[in-house]
Amino acid sequence: MDIERLSALLNGVQAGDVSVGNALDALRSLPYDSVGGFAELDTHRAVRTGMSEVVYCPGKSNDQVAQIMARLAGQSDRVLATRATPEQFAAVQAVLPSAVYHPLPRLITVGSSPAPIHPGRYVAVLTAGTADTPVGEEAALTLEWAGSRVERIYDVGVAGLHRLLGHLETIQNANALVVCAGMEGALTSVVAGLVSRPVVAVPTSIGYGTAFGGVAALLTMLNSCAGGVAVVNIDNGFGAACYAHRINS
């Protein structure tokens, strides 16, 4: 149950088009809905937080992902699953033919992204290198799914700083910024030193041995000399998007 459906239901009751009994039936699954004895879906989350529950696929069987997605699709016009495999997508598509797989960020979407809630505002998503793009796209697509306008600025790392400066106007006019970087993670501090808006830093697991799977970038971002930086977990484009969307909203 999302805000749009709840509003339509209450307006229907007020207009006399929907009986109280039918409204109660529609609301009966609030605040959660049990699926197959293995999941308790938070169907009220969009009303509380502005974003519906999202399916995290690792650790779930193909059938479990499909069942959860199908149940959520009955409650909302759009559903999102993260870190999905092609096999999990095939199981979802078997029950939800309109589902779409985004292989680079490994997302499954059902339904179209809404029009931006605030068209005049946007979140800029930056990546240091092409190898960071999967994490950047996880953030960008999640933001669009949630209703934020996104401007993508990819492959603008500090090894060629002129590439970043070529997008300076777009960067400085953003309402919030998500910066994804591996290796030493220096792009975050550079960007945060150029803007007055909040920066959400995403360390990625890209880099050679002493990058330690993203730990080096994580520590750099946590020790940023520029103010206004918040840091999420390694490769957590989804978490960064949730935070940036709240800022943008």
21-29: long-range contacts, CB 8 A cutoff, minimum separation 24: 26/1, 27/1, 29/1, 29/75
CB 147 within 8 A of CB 247: no
pLDDT in tens, 233-246: 999 999 999 999 99
Task: Look up the pTM and report it.
Answer: 0.84
Does the structure show a pLDDT above 70 at 45? no
Spelled out in words, what is the top-level CATH class assigned to the domain 123-248?
A: alpha beta
pLDDT in tens, 126-176: 999 999 999 999 999 999 999 999 999 999 999 999 999 999 999 999 999
pLDDT in tens, 90-114: 999 999 999 999 999 999 999 888 8
The helix-helix angle for 133-146 and 237-248 (nearest 10°) equals: 40
The pLDDT value recorded for residue 29 is 56
CB atoms within 10 A of CB 24: 10
The pLDDT value recorded for residue 75 is 77
List 41's β-bridge partners, or say none: 33
Q: Which of 111, 105, 52 is nearest to 83 (CA)?
A: 105
Query: What average pLDDT is seen over the chain?
Result: 89
CB 1 within 8 A of CB 76: yes
CB 187 within 8 A of CB 202: no
Q: Which of 189, 190, 177 is nearest to 245 (CA)?
A: 177
**Segments of the chain assigned to CATH 3.40.50.1970:** 123-248
What is the percentage of the chain residues whose pLDDT exceeds 70?
A: 88
The pLDDT value recorded for residue 3 is 64
